[in-house]
Amino acid sequence: MLKLLAAAAIVGLPLASHALAQDPDVDCSDPVTQTDMNICAYQDWQAADKELNAVYKQAVAYAKDEDTQLADIDKNLVGALDALKKAQRAWVDYRDGHCDGMGFQARGGSMEPLLVGSCLADLTRQRTRELKELMTGLEDQGEDGGEQK
C-alpha cells in the first residue's frame, strides 16, 4: 500500500505543479483556502526562481570577466566560472532535498505543497542574495572585513 501511495504522489507531482501554475483567480494577498495557499506558495517560488535565473546569468558573466582578468595575470588563477557552476549545481541538489524533507512534516496532506513551495521560495531568494553578494566582492567590505552600512 505504501508503494502505491508513493507512486501516486510521484505521478501526481507534475500534474499538481501544472494545476498550481494555472489558477490566476487566487488572491495571494489574502489566500483563504489551503489550495489557495498552496497555489500562492508555488507562484512565489516561481517568481523567486525567475529572479534567481536572471541574477545567475549576471553572475556567470561576472565570473567569466573575472577569469578573463585573472588569465591576463596568470592562467593558473582562472576558475571563477567553474567554481560558480559547481556551487550552483550543489546548491540546487541541497535546495531540492532540503525542501522535500520539509514537506515530510505534512507528508501526504494538503499542507505538504505549501511547506515545500515556501521552502523553495525562501531558499531561492537566499541564493539570489548570495549571488548578488558574490558579484559585489570586496567592494562592500569594510577594513575589518565586515559589511559597510
pLDDT per residue as tens digits for the range 24-39: 689 999 999 999 999 9
This model's pTM is above 0.85: no
| Residue percentage of the chain with pLDDT more than 70 | 76
Half-sphere exposure of 90 (CA within 13 A, CB side): 6
* Nearest-angstrom CA–CA distance, 36 and 117: 12
Measured at the CA of 142, the angle between CA 139 and CA 145, to 5 degrees, comes to 100
